[in-house]
Amino acid sequence: MVVEGEAKEVVKQQPEKGIPKSGRWWKSKNTSRFSSLPKDKPLRSSWHKKSIQRAEKLSLKQYQQKVTEARRQEKIEHRQRVEAHRKRKEENQRKSEIVQVIKNTAKIKRMKKKQLRKIEKRDTNNLKVKSQ
């Protein structure tokens, strides 16, 4: 019995599906394509932010270069100081030496190995000479 005031609803029943052929029962059927899904806007930063970041990066790089240059310069100065100290020490040692000049070269032939090792050739013009 149909009442005139009520609209008759026609419900289309979809055929019931069985187990998919692939065996993956948990997978649902795609009704829409991936391209039709709503897309988020990509994360973009403004030109102002980019320029600030660029400036920060540049200043950081310059600071890093300055620090490395300072360290390198410090190392060079230290090396020079050490070398100057070594030279000055060597000069002072040479000045303070008391030298015995061997005038008779036949003595050298009679010397033992241990004594020969101690012999050094020097410029005796400006050194103190031990009197014999």
Sorted by where each begins, the domain ranges of the chain are 46-116
Phi-psi domain of 100 (left: phi exceeds 0; alpha: psi -120 through 50; beta: other): beta
pLDDT in tens, 4-34: 655 566 667 776 777 888 888 888 877 788 8
CA distances from 128 to 4, 96, 114, 116 (A): 141, 8, 24, 21
Bridge partners of 99?
129
For residues 130 and 100, the answer to whether their CB atoms sit within 8 Å is yes
Structure tokens at 7: 């609209």
pLDDT in tens, 78-110: 999 999 999 999 999 888 888 888 888 899 999
Q: Indicate the average pLDDT of the chain.
A: 85
